C-alpha cells in the first residue's frame, strides 16, 4: 500500500485528502482510493446537529441517498489521531480521475437545450431520492405559484449573469483583466 496527500478543490481547502494505491495480483492491477476528510456540515449552525456522530458517515449516508448507484467501495472511518494528532473523520471512495465534459460552447442551440434538460433531470432525480415526494407535493400544492417563483428566480439569475459578463468584457477591453 502506498499513499500520498492530494491537493483538493476550492470547496475543500484546509481539509485532509489522500490517495491510496493498493495493488492486486501485480503492478498491472492497481486500485486507487480517495480518503477525504469530512467536517461538520455547514448547515449545523442553522439546523439540528447531524444524526451521525461521525462526519464521514454523514457524507456517506447522504451520498447513498442522493446517488442512484453508489460506489461499491464507499465507506467512512474515524482516525482518533491523524498526522497532526487531532481526531478526524474521513470518507473513502474509489478514485475515478477520469473527468470529462461536454464542450457546451461548441453545441448548437438544440443540442445545448437537450444537454441542459439531461443535466436538470439528473439533478432532479438525485434530489427526489432524498426527499419525501408526498410531503414535497403537499408543500408545493396544486397551483403554479412555485413554478412562477422558480422561473422568476431563474430569469433574475440569468440577468445577473449577463451583467457580470458585460462587466468582465468591459474590464478585458480596458486592459484591467487579461484574457485569451
Domain boundary among 37, 72, 94: 94
Cell 496527500 maps to which residue? 5
pLDDT in tens, 57-106: 999 998 888 777 778 899 999 999 887 889 999 999 998 766 677 888 99
- d(CA 63, CA 163) in angstroms, rounded, equals 35
Residues 122 and 48 in one domain: no
Residue 57 sits in the same domain as residue 127: no
Domain containing 153 equals 104-173
Q: What is the dihedral of CA 156, 162, 166, 167, to 10 degrees?
A: 40
In a domain, 99, yes or no: no
Whether residue 180 is contained in a domain is answered as no
Q: Give the pTM.
A: 0.58
Note whether 83 and 124 are same-domain residues.
Answer: no
CA-CA distance, 42 to 52, in Å (whole number)? 14
C-beta contacts of 14-22 below 8 A and 24+ residues apart: 15/39, 16/82, 16/83, 16/88, 16/90, 19/95
Q: What is the tens place of the pLDDT at every residue in 17-42?
A: 899 999 988 888 889 999 999 998 88
Amino acid at each position: 500500500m502506498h499513499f500520498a496527500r492530494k491537493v483538493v478543490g476550492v470547496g475543500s481547502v484546509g481539509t485532509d485528502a489522500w490517495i491510496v494505491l493498493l495493488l492486486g495480483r501485480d503492478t498491472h492491477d492497481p486500485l486507487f482510493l480517495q480518503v477525504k476528510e469530512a467536517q461538520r456540515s455547514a448547515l449545523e449552525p442553522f439546523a439540528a446537529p447531524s444524526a451521525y456522530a461521525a462526519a464521514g458517515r454523514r457524507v456517506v449516508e447522504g451520498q447513498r441517498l442522493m446517488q442512484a448507484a453508489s460506489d461499491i467501495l464507499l465507506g467512512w472511518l474515524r482516525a482518533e489521531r491523524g498526522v497532526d494528532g487531532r481526531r478526524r473523520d474521513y470518507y473513502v471512495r474509489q478514485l475515478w480521475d477520469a473527468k470529462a465534459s461536454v464542450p457546451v460552447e461548441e453545441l448548437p442551440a438544440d443540442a445545448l437545450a437537450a444537454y441542459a434538460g439531461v443535466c436538470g433531470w439528473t439533478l432532479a432525480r438525485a434530489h427526489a431520492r432524498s426527499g419525501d415526494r408526498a410531503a414535497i407535493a403537499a408543500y408545493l400544492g396544486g397551483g403554479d405559484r412555485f413554478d412562477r417563483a422558480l422561473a422568476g428566480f431563474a430569469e433574475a439569475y440569468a440577468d445577473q449573469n449577463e451583467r457580470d459578463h458585460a462587466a468582465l468584457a468591459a474590464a478585458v477591453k480596458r486592459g484591467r483583466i487579461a484574457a485569451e
